[in-house]
């Protein structure tokens, strides 16, 4: 298992992985998987986890504001969930954030992603706001990490 930075040749595999996971969770095929341009600037990054040349996980982190980073694109292939891969990816993203001088990490997720919510809570994130889209049941749960990210214990 290897964790490395995304390169342009990874786009097809990453899009397929994310699309597959979104279909599992929401039971609909996403029209198009978008990779946030902010992940590819100097203050952002997209990491991938690769096992035998197959991309099995992703995590992205990018600048939200001056001292705040946004965690996104955390997706893990079903077979690898519970293996510690999520923790390794998060650790890599937090190290990047620490090196860039970010003081807080925020993320958004949905109530359907129950395992992800538990994972984030276990890693020091707490709910701070809910954004609703009109009258739809679908909403985003916004979370932030209260623990200082400059701590080496992340």
Q: How far apart, in whole angstroms, are the C-alpha atoms of residue 35 and residue 21? A: 15
Q: What would the two tokens of residue 16 be?
A: 């397929």
Q: What is the pLDDT of residues 30-51, one digit of tens each?
A: 666 666 666 677 789 999 999 9
- Dihedral sign from CA coordinates of 126, 132, 108, 50: positive
Q: How far apart, in whole angstroms, are the C-alpha atoms of residue 5 and residue 111? A: 29
Q: What is the pLDDT of residues 132-149, one digit of tens each?
A: 666 544 455 556 665 555
**CATH top-level class of 2-145:** alpha beta
Burial class (CB in 10 A: 0-12, 13-18, 19+), 76: buried
């Amino acid at each position: 298992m290897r964790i490395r930075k995304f390169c342009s040749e990874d786009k097809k595999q990453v899009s397929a992985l994310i699309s597959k996971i979104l279909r599992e969770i929401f039971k609909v095929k996403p029209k198009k998987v978008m990779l946030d341009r902010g992940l590819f600037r100097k203050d952002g990054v997209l990491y991938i986890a690769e096992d035998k040349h197959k991309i099995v996980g992703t995590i992205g982190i990018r600048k939200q504001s001056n001292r705040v980073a946004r965690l996104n694109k955390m997706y893990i292939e079903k077979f690898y969930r519970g293996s510690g891969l999520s923790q390794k990816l998060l650790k890599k993203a937090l190290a990047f954030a620490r090196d860039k001088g970010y003081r807080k990490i925020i993320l958004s997720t949905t109530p359907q992603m129950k395992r992800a919510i538990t994972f984030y809570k276990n890693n020091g994130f707490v709910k701070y706001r809910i954004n609703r889209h009109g009258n739809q049941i679908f909403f985003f749960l916004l979370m932030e990490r209260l623990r200082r990210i400059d701590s080496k214990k992340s």
